[in-house]
Amino acid sequence: MERISWDEYFMAQSHLLAYRSTCTRLAVGATIVRDKRIIAGGYNGSISGGVHCIDEGCYVIDGHCVRTIHAEMNAILQCAKFGVPVEGAEMYVTHFPCLHCCRTIIQSGIKTLYYAQDYKNHPYAIEQFKEAGLIVKQVPFNENKMNPHYEDQMQLTFDLLQAVEEGAADSQDKVARLRQKAEQLYPAALHLK
């Protein structure tokens, strides 16, 4: 497997954080980095000890869930809570931040923002980033690249499709070889047999 870049590494951390999200509308993760070291991480969810959207649904006012604290805010608040300065740091986030988070990122002193996916990119947020001199870069993220078996799994899938198309049910040896390969590539799925 090819070694990933620093940007891919920190973006992968943000995607991993997004798996902790309790938001049912969009799972977002954010990682704050200084000198190639992670200093904080956050995901979108309710306040500590509060009711979560995944349990009771979103609390929507004017089209926005007011129950959720955004990932970027949670990461910055984690730094504030533990006295970790963010001045000059970088932030990696899975989706382009909302207008409120953009202003918070600027005000916190973060100097570079990396995001993986466009998400309602507000023109005023882009304008404010430019005015503040904050560097904004999109870092496309391919989650499949993190899986060392991805190419083999894709090949198996296409081999199975081809075998079905060719009527390989008559060829027990080919089916047995494909099943063995599938069991090697998907060991967690053996219980599905």
In the set 72, 151, 166, 183, the catalytic residue is 72
Distance CA 193, CA 189 (A): 8
Distance CA 57, CA 7 (A): 34
Closest by CA position to 86, among listed 28, 12, 13, 30 = 30
* Residue 72 annotated among the catalytic residues of the structure: yes
Beta bridge pairs of residue 112 = 90, 135
Q: Which residues contact 28 (CB under 8 A, 6 or more apart)?
A: 18, 21, 43, 44, 70, 71, 72, 93, 94, 95
CB 41 within 8 A of CB 30: yes
Known catalytic residues are: 72
